């Protein structure tokens, strides 16, 4: 299952901003900006994506993306959070054609998008400190028992809900960005379970994206807002204890000078790909050691600007979202 950004962790600031979703061939290193995040919760996806056209989708004020199969073994649709219109838009993943406005919501400052094991859509709301749930077939609000609206999970000290991911235990893990911790909720009822990563543990600050790696451990982006570089931190997937890379301290796994990380993802070969907003590039790191390998996508390649993602599709290409001012982005 694939979730395109879910582009969690990025904000739009005005109605003039707009984004694109593009695809980059791993063998070519080009084809433009992209974004989306892997959602490993679906039965299977069609290999028809191999015939997806190499084109750009121009999406007004894009914030998040998710690629999801609506039924087992069917082709996937593309779900995009449109920050400016407070909605989740749906596109045909093969042609890029707009299908419909799948979900409409209030001004909730969404930061994360996820399709659950139950096939429903989960959205983190930074401004309301909640995780919202919508029916995966109709887009209708689907609150947890005892909740109203679309609220699925809240409480437990959640402040500034950002990245969210389902664990192998079936529970929901959410970055609480304002108070620097990772909280765990029941993936079935939405009930708060515990603080999985305590405040500031391993140096955690301003966490955005959240992801379980192929090793079963939990990875989170760290915001270096104090003048230090952003980084990827790693925590034990069972205990939540800091798990740094060899030779590192705290929970530090991967970093470079001058990095501004909102999104990251793992490739099919297990390496770590980081979207660097500082220079609009994608950097590649060894998925086992955290060591820098190379710049996978050069700064600005194909018009890439302030990227979110990346996510690898079943076609073995990588997707990201690209942000930019209206009138300053190339179109194709």
Q: What are phi and psi of 55, to 5 degrees?
A: -150, 170
Q: How many CA atoms lie within 13 A of 1 on its CB side?
A: 25
Q: The pTM is what?
A: 0.78
pLDDT tens-digit map of 155-191:
999 999 999 999 999 999 999 999 999 999 999 999 9
Domain ranges of the chain: 2-325
Give domain 2-325's CATH number out of 3.40.50.720, 2.120.10.30, 1.20.140.10, 3.40.50.1820.
Answer: 2.120.10.30
Q: How many CA atoms lie within 13 A of 304 on its CB side?
A: 33
Alpha-carbon distance of 97 to 120, in angstroms, equals: 22
Query: Quick one: which of 82, 59, 78, 54 has its CA closest to 67?
Result: 78
Average pLDDT, the chain: 76
CA distances from 222 to 20, 208, 265, 319 (A): 25, 7, 14, 22
The pLDDT, as a whole number, for residue 163 is 92
Task: Pick the more confident residue, 73 or 140.
Answer: 140
Mean pLDDT of 304-332: 63
Mean pLDDT of 277-302: 93
**What's CA 95's distance to the chain center, in Å?**
22
Please count the helices (runs of H) and the strands (runs of E) in the chain.
0, 26
Task: Pick the more confident residue, 157 or 73.
Answer: 157
pLDDT tens-digit map of 109-129:
888 889 998 999 999 999 999
pLDDT tens-digit map of 191-230:
999 999 999 999 999 998 999 999 999 999 988 665 457 8
First to last CA, the chain: 27
| Tokens found for residue 132 | 């919202």
Please, which pLDDT band fits residue 248 given cuts at 50, 70 and 90? very high
Alpha-carbon distance of 33 to 21, in angstroms, equals: 6
Q: What are phi and psi of 302, to 5 degrees?
A: 65, 20
């Amino acid at each position: 299952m694939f979730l395109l950004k879910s582009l969690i962790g990025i904000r739009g600031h005005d109605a003039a901003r707009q984004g694109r979703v593009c695809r980059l061939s791993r063998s070519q290193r080009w084809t433009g900006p992209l974004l989306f995040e892997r959602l490993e919760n679906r039965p299977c996806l069609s290999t028809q994506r191999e015939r997806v056209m190499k084109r750009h989708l121009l999406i007004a004020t894009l914030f998040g993306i998710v690629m999801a199969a609506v039924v087992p073994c069917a082709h996937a649709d593309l779900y995009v959070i449109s920050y400016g219109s407070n909605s989740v838009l749906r596109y045909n993943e093969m042609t890029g054609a707009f299908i419909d406005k799948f979900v409409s919501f209030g001004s909730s400052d969404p930061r994360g998008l996820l399709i659950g094991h139950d096939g429903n859509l989960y959205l983190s709301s930074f401004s309301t400190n909640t995780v919202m749930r919508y029916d995966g077939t109709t887009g209708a609000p689907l609150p947890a028992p005892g909740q109203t609206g679309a609220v699925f999970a809240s409480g437990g000290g959640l402040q500034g809900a950002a990245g969210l991911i389902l664990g192998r235990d079936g529970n929901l893990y959410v970055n609480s960005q304002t108070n620097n911790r990772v909280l765990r909720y029941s993936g079935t009822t939405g009930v708060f379970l515990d603080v999985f990563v305590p405040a500031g543990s391993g140096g955690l600050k301003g966490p955005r994206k959240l992801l379980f790696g192929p090793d079963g451990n939990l990875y989170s982006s760290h915001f270096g807002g104090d003048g230090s570089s952003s980084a990827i931190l790693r925590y034990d997937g069972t205990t939540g204890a800091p798990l740094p890379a060899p030779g590192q301290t705290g929970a530090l796994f991967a970093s470079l000078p001058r990095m501004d990380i909102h999104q990251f993802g793992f490739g099919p070969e297990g390496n770590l790909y980081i979207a660097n907003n500082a220079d609009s590039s994608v950097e590649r790191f060894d998925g086992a050691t955290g060591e820098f390998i190379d710049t996978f996508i050069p700064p600005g390649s194909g018009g890439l600007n302030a990227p979110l993602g990346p996510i690898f599709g079943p076609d073995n290409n990588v997707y990201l979202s690209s942000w930019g001012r209206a009138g300053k982005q190339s179109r194709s």
